[in-house]
Amino acid sequence: MGGERGQVEAEFTRALGQFGGLVRGIALAVLSVFGVLATPASALPLAFALLGLALAGGAADCYHAVTGRAGVLACVLTCGRAVAICAAQPWTVPGLWAPNVLTITGITVQWQWPLRVTVPVVTGLLALEAAVIGVGEAAPVLVRVVIESTLARLAFALLLRVTRWIERIRDRQTALERAGTLALERRRQDREYLALLHDTASATFLMVALHRVEPAAVAGYARRDLAVLTGERGAHDSLVDLEASLRGIAAQSPLDTSIEWTPVPLLPASAALALTRAVREALRNVERHAGVARARITVGSHRHGAVITVADEGAGFDPAAVPGQRRGIRGSLVERMAAAGGSATVTSRPGAGTTVRLAWPDV
């Protein structure tokens, strides 16, 4: 977070420096034009030379503000422009051109360069002003420039402090949001794990209860359940047999469910879990909404994986008309399969039944 905050501070400083350079370059160019217009005719050649220097310095200021380049040249021309205009006061317009140049320069350099640069620059310009026109006459200008330059530096420091404060608040808010997201993800994983434990164990118990199963087969089912559980929670994804879980889900459903089974390869536990739970949700939808008591499950191989269809001949519906807040299709089928690297598609229309196609991996 500290690195991000330093980057924001640097960006803020750069933006304020650009603003200061543009203001100084444009303001002193305009001021110099009026200075030439107010200069006596005898000093016009000198005034035009100062105007050229002011325009060159303004161009350097603007170029540095826009591109970030030629910073040293902009600083040198800033100092040279102010020195030349202050030194030429006795021959141009005493009391007008030079004091305004000093004021604008003293303020804007505070926004653009550090104190180790601005303090010598402003001090040197004020000393030159006092030497050219005398300390007594220059005193009001010196006091004004010192006060305004100090206020400009304090304003810069205050804005920088506010930027740091806002950035700290943003960092804390980001950390809280990240912690909340991680907590939600942990809770989701815990719910998935508990659901997986329920699915695998209940399917095994149901198979044992409904069929005569040899002890060796029960041990095999237990090993398969353990592989699924460790595959879901561990660092690797164990390969498991999909058939026992699907047959258990079908037997557990109150529907008259037929299964057409084609052998499929062993699947990663996460994929088997997603397919099993999607089939269970599809059968629940048939039970709740189709208005029929029969469903048909077809299982086949698919790109080294499996494809499962759950079909009924019930009332059907228009998938496009399902409200967005209904998460049965999107949350329990489409999103779950997509998260596991598979796909789910629902084909239906009113009066023509519904077919849910589940595939892993996705085509």
Examine the fold and report which residue of 104, 138, 170 is the final residue of a domain before the chain moves on.
170
Q: Are residues 133 and 37 in the same domain?
A: yes
- Of 109-113, 125-129, 237-241, the one with minimum mean pLDDT is 237-241
Domain that holds residue 314: 254-360
Q: Are residues 159 and 306 in the same domain?
A: no
- Half-sphere exposure of residue 186, counting CA atoms within 13 Å on the CB side? 6
Phi, psi angles (nearest 5°) of residue 300 = -150, 170
Element (H, E) at 91: none
The reply to whether 246 falls in a domain is no
DSSP β-ladder status, 294-302 and 343-348: unpaired
Examine the fold and report which residue of 170, 201, 226 is the final residue of a domain before the chain moves on.
170
- Give per-residue pLDDT as tens, 186-244: 776 666 655 555 555 555 555 555 555 556 555 655 665 565 555 544 434 567 778 87
d(CA 336, CA 276): 11
**Residues 292-315, mean pLDDT to the nearest whole number:** 90
CA distances to 30, 104, 143, 181, 249 from 110, rounded to whole Å, are 21, 10, 17, 43, 74
Element (H, E) at 340: none
pTM of the entire predicted model: 0.48
Q: Are residues 40 and 144 in the same domain?
A: yes
**Residues 132-152, mean pLDDT to the nearest whole number:** 89
Q: How many domains does the chain have?
A: 2
**Residues 32-61, mean pLDDT to the nearest whole number:** 88
216 forms bridges with which residues in the sheet? Answer: none
Q: Are residues 163 and 25 in the same domain?
A: yes
Average pLDDT, the chain: 80
pLDDT at residue 331 in the model? 57
Locate all alpha helices (DSSP H) within 38-114, ordered by sequence. Answer: 44-67, 71-87, 97-112
CB 253 within 8 A of CB 321: no
